[in-house]
Amino acid sequence: QNPDAQIFPPNPFQRAWLLAFESPLIEKLVFLKSARVGYAVFINTTTGWLIANDPGNVLVVQNTESDAEKFSTGEVGKVLSHCAPVMDRVIKGAKQSLLEKTFLGGKLLVGYATSPSTFRMVTIRYFYGDEISGWPDNIENEGDGVDLGIVRTETEDNRVIVLGSTP
């Protein structure tokens, strides 16, 4: 749909990430990575793939509200608005917001680690935590954000938990 869109040609290490994500034997992926290695592209690519191929509720958590808004519009927003197989699954006419998108078979929620409400009233199959080393240790006395996110996946079969951070 977008003439400026590019196919994501993964590097060998990124291909390994994608294979691990697809494996039914791997439930949790943890990346201690350097900056600018394509982790956001990995999140976008896998989110687009699962919306089109294996839908379920998705929670992507960024550090701050501002980071979540930037990610929603500047990163994953591109996948939702320019990738035809994903666009076909987004429910037209459904209430869509900056941080919540509804598609056939699930919802994409983009939240932020400084708000405990990000982790409330949701059941998640796919949980992505970005830059988790910058998350608060105890979000407003409600607990660790990573733990709160993982709890939201506990009732899902074939859940996938992806955590990444630069040191």
Length of the chain, in residues: 167
Of the two residues 158 and 83, the one the predictor is more confident about is 158
pLDDT the model gives residue 4: 53
pTM exceeds 0.85, yes or no: yes
Question: Cα–Cα distance between 156 and 77 in angstroms, integer?
Answer: 25
More reliable by pLDDT, 143 or 82: 143
Q: Mean pLDDT over residues 141-146, rounded?
A: 95
Cα torsion for 113, 114, 119, 120, to the nearest 10°?
-170
Quickly state the pLDDT bin for 132 (edges 50, 70, 90). very high
pLDDT of 126: 98
d(CA 60, CA 47): 9
Parallel, antiparallel, or unpaired for β 100-103 and 106-112?
Answer: antiparallel
pLDDT (tens digit per residue) in 18-27: 999 999 999 9
How many C-beta neighbours within 10 Å does residue 35 have? 8
Contact 121, 144 (CB under 8 A): no
Mean pLDDT value of segment 59-66: 95
pLDDT tens readout for residues 88-116 = 999 887 888 899 999 999 999 999 999 99
Q: For residues 6 and 35, what is the distance between their CA atoms, to the nearest angstrom?
A: 21
Is the predicted pLDDT of residue 14 greater than 60, yes or no? yes
